[in-house]
Structure 1
Amino acid sequence: MQKYFVAPSQFGEEHIDIEGNDAHHIMNVMRAKIGSSIEVSDGLAREALANIESYEEGVVRARIVEMRPLDRESVVHVTIAQSLPKGDKMETIIQKCTEIGAVRFVPFVSERTIVQYDAKKEAKRIERWGKIAKEAAEQSHRNRIPDIMSSLSWKQLIAQFSEYDRVLFCYEDERGTQLRDVVKPFAERLASDQTSIEAANKTQLDPLPNAKAPSVLVVVGPEGGFATREVEAALAAGARAVGLGRRILRAETAGMVATACIMYEFGEMGGL
């Protein structure tokens, strides 16, 4: 069943109005008929199964049949910080990591970034990446569309490390600590904490609040890797250097592998 994201203002009590490119896609690409069922989400707090009721003046109106649970998001929030890669590789990174479960993408410029940052093209590039994230979220039936942030300098990115519970610095020369060495005990401890909260809630009149979703920032460098001083700065700011196995991965592959491994350790892919 096809899924679509709409603005919260388009999501009514009984009907959902789908406009623009999505309406065109429903009627002219998918060739949906009146009465056909679709899934619709406002990307925030509401998701529904709806039946197409009419199509007039470029607007598809669908009647809500039932509200759906918001249960497709991961228990861990993974943000991918990616040094701008060449060509259309960033599009691939956003598409695939969205399917796997990443919630945010932060492009940045590091010392060996080959791509020349152009502020004039920034808005158009983010719009393009946002469209790719939306389509990937629809294809994978996510409950939300990942955020695409504006490009940062290396110093600006490091300044944000403290906002995350864990910062994993993917480093090809790291031979000791592997990603699993950091993520597995982190996931196990949080799972134990959540069990304790649930147990306490069964015996108290005032339940304890559920812990917020743990946040992990995965930092991936450019095709040429990080400069030594960048590695030193990242570690000094609290990042953990981790390896991704004995093989050297491409810049566009590292984020996908790291995200999948994190999801596995948090039980999103048959792990814990």
Structure 2
Amino acid sequence: MQRYFIKTNQIDEVTQSITLTGDDVHHIKNVMRLEVTDTILCCDGAGMDYRVRIEQISGSEVQCRILESFSSTGEPNQVEITIAFSLPKGDKVDWVLQKGTELGAYAFIPFTSARTVVKLDEKKAGKRRERWERIVKEAAEQSRRGRIPKVNALTTWRQCLAQFSSFDRILFAYEKGGKALGSLLAEKEAKRFLVIVGPEGGFTEHEAEEAVNQGAALLHLGPRILRAETAPLAVLSCIQYTYGELGGEPL
């Protein structure tokens, strides 16, 4: 059943109805070609799903009747994993956002570091963020997430460092050394993870030192060098599995 994210002001508790607008109308009419009496799922992004029946389709709105409501089941409930990544080249960001959302990432922090090749001015960064948010929303709908992961504004490495205190465990992927993921997860119980991955050229030694000084643990991902877009997804998947997601047995 097709899924759409809504805001709470789109729900009318009195009439037990939901009104869809914007891009969702186009998707319902022209992409999915849904009709009156078809049923869809709406999610408020705060843990509640609504099974609704389409009652009316117009040029700018789709009116739906609420048939039932229930708690969302697509959200990881053991950990919150935020992925901070230095901007890679090309469309690799799209891949990280889409697949990271499918795998259960809580949020994303794109940043620039010493070896970041991609340079965006404020205007371009704003446009990219709008695109990234659309990608994350569509991936969350497709994968039946209970919420849409937040895509933070493009930031600097220094600003990224300043956010470390918001997390229980910071894992800094570093090809020049560090501990295996299994041992790091066993060392310290955590709820809020920050996974940090560098650009194609990796992090500088100074950046690694800065991360450690701010409480990060160096993470080594084995003898193979993973691409910038592969590393965060590998770490995300392993953490999720360890904590009972993706078919794993919870700690």
Give the Cα separation in 1 of the matches to 2:37 and 2:120: 48
SS of the aligned residue for 2:230 comes to helix
Give the Cα separation in 2 of the matches to 1:65 and 1:244: 48
Q: CA RMSD in A?
A: 1.3
> Contact 2:47–2:71 at 8 Å: present in 1 too?
no
Residue of structure 2 aligned with 1:39, choices 35, 41, 57: 41
SS of the aligned residue for 2:247 comes to coil
TM-aligned CA deviation for residue 49 of structure 1:
0.7
Query: Counterpart of 1:96?
Result: 99
Residue of structure 2 aligned with 1:105, choices 104, 108, 128: 108
Residue of structure 1 aligned with 2:56, choices 46, 54, 57: 54
SS of the aligned residue for 2:12 comes to coil
Give the Cα separation in 2 of the matches to 1:120 and 1:129: 14
Q: Judging by fraction of residues, say which structure has more helix.
A: 1
TM-aligned CA deviation for residue 270 of structure 1:
2.3
Identical-pair percentage: 47
Q: How does 1:1-272 map to 2 (within 5 A)?
A: 1-13=1-13, 14-74=16-76, 75-174=78-177, 177-186=179-188, 189=189, 214-271=191-248, 272=250
- The one-letter code matched in structure 2 to 1:229 is H
- The one-letter code matched in structure 2 to 1:54 is Q
Give the Cα separation in 2 of the matches to 1:269 and 1:180: 16
Unaligned residue ranges in structure 2 (runs of 5+): none
The one of the two structures with greater contact order (alpha-carbon pairs below 8 A, sep at least 6) is: 1
Give the Cα separation in 2 of the matches to 1:86 and 1:243: 23
SS of the aligned residue for 1:130 comes to helix
Deviations 1:110-161 (A, max 9, x none): 0000111311212111110000000000000001000010111111111111
SS of the aligned residue for 2:172 comes to strand
Give the Cα separation in 2 of the matches to 1:65 and 1:162: 43
> Contact 1:184–1:265 at 8 Å: present in 2 too?
no
- The one-letter code matched in structure 2 to 1:261 is C
TM-aligned CA deviation for residue 46 of structure 1:
2.9
- The one-letter code matched in structure 1 to 2:175 is E
- The one-letter code matched in structure 2 to 1:232 is E
Give the Cα separation in 1 of the matches to 2:90 and 2:28: 31
> Could you tell me the TM-score, scaled by structure 2's length?
0.94
Aligned length: 246
TM-aligned CA deviation for residue 245 of structure 1:
2.5
- The one-letter code matched in structure 2 to 1:268 is E
> Contact 1:109–1:117 at 8 Å: present in 2 too?
no
Give the Cα separation in 2 of the matches to 1:246 and 1:61: 55
Deviant stretches of 4+, over 2 Å: none
Unaligned residue ranges in structure 1 (runs of 5+): 191-213
Query: Counterpart of 1:207?
Result: none
TM-aligned CA deviation for residue 185 of structure 1:
4.9
SS of the aligned residue for 2:226 comes to coil
- The one-letter code matched in structure 1 to 2:160 is L
